Amino acid sequence: MAGLKAIKTKIRSMEKSRQVTRAMEAVSAVKMRKAQLRALSGRPYAKAAASILARVSGTYALAHHPLVAVRPLTKALYIVITSDKGLAGALNSAVLRGVSADIAGSGLAREDVSVIAVGKKAHDFFAARGVRIEAFHPQTDEITSENIALLVREAGQQFGAGAFDVVKIAYQNFLSTFEQRPVIHTIFPLSLVELQKLVADIVPVRGKFSKRASSGNGVFYNIEPSEEEVLTEILPRLAGIFVYHALLESQASEHSARMVAMKSASDKAGDLKRELTLQFNKARQAVITREVSEITGGMEALADKAI
């Protein structure tokens, strides 16, 4: 009987686990749909940003602005976006492996790399490996212009001051409900080529948001009040497109990955429950058969004794 009780306890445990994972799956599905819509709706803004940058790319002031300065690589800053929570499959580990591989490929020493961590997983990963954490921001479902401006300011000021020679952003790019891909883009030095790569990554092949528009060609403009003042104002906003879209894509990817992971967990819990139920029925049948055999044997013994 002890064996039957243990199996019954496991069955109840699987039932409770399945209830939890199915609830988490439902919540993630709702959040995923909202995040997907926001990510898709934000994609035209990236195209518009590329168009704006293309139109001013012919100006002399842009070529000499501190935020587009190309320098030999000696120090790098990474903005790494992950989730605060787990239970999302390989979502976070894929981004962290991608950043680690990019650092190794750059040939930089650990002390020459710093990280702005968005999400607890990124913070814990790099802090445990002795990488300097310049700033930490928790991952939230609410994306505000203040948060975006803060991230751009933290990175842009240090790049403009020469503390870092390159600033990159790493996140999960949402491709579909069942597919996300870790990507790394260079924010500073800001370049039209990198912004066009972002647009190429985010525009879907078909559907409502699949129209592709030309980014335009470089044009010379007379700018008022001055080129320097205008570019100082718009370049951080263009860089903010990288951050804004990265946060949107990361959220959509997180909820999609968690929904899929929870569905897989629910299915496995159901399979295990069926296996345990079958095991329980076999064990119970064995007990019943043994008890019937014992009763039959006892009755035969009594009959023999009576004779």
Helix/strand/coil (H/E/C) assignment for every residue in 163-226: CCCEEEEEEEEEEECCEEEEEEEEEECCCHHHHHHHHHHHCCCCCCCCCCCCCCCCCCCCCCCC
- Mean pLDDT rounded to a whole number for the chain: 80
Cis ω before 225 (30° cut-off from 0): yes
CATH numeric code, 22-260: 3.40.1380.10
| Confidence band for 68, pLDDT divided at 50, 70 and 90 | confident
Structure tokens at 76: 């790098």
Is the distance from CB of 132 to CB of 111 less than 8 angstroms?
yes
pTM (predicted TM-score): 0.75
Q: Reply yes or no on whether the pLDDT at 213 is more than 50.
A: no
Domain range annotation of the chain: 2-14+270-306, 22-260
| Model pLDDT, residue 217 | 46
Give pLDDT tens digits for 86-127.
777 778 888 999 999 999 998 898 899 999 999 999 999 999
The C-alpha atoms of residue 156 and residue 235 are separated, in whole angstroms, by 10
Structure tokens at 228: 């320097």
Percentage, residues of the chain above pLDDT 70: 83
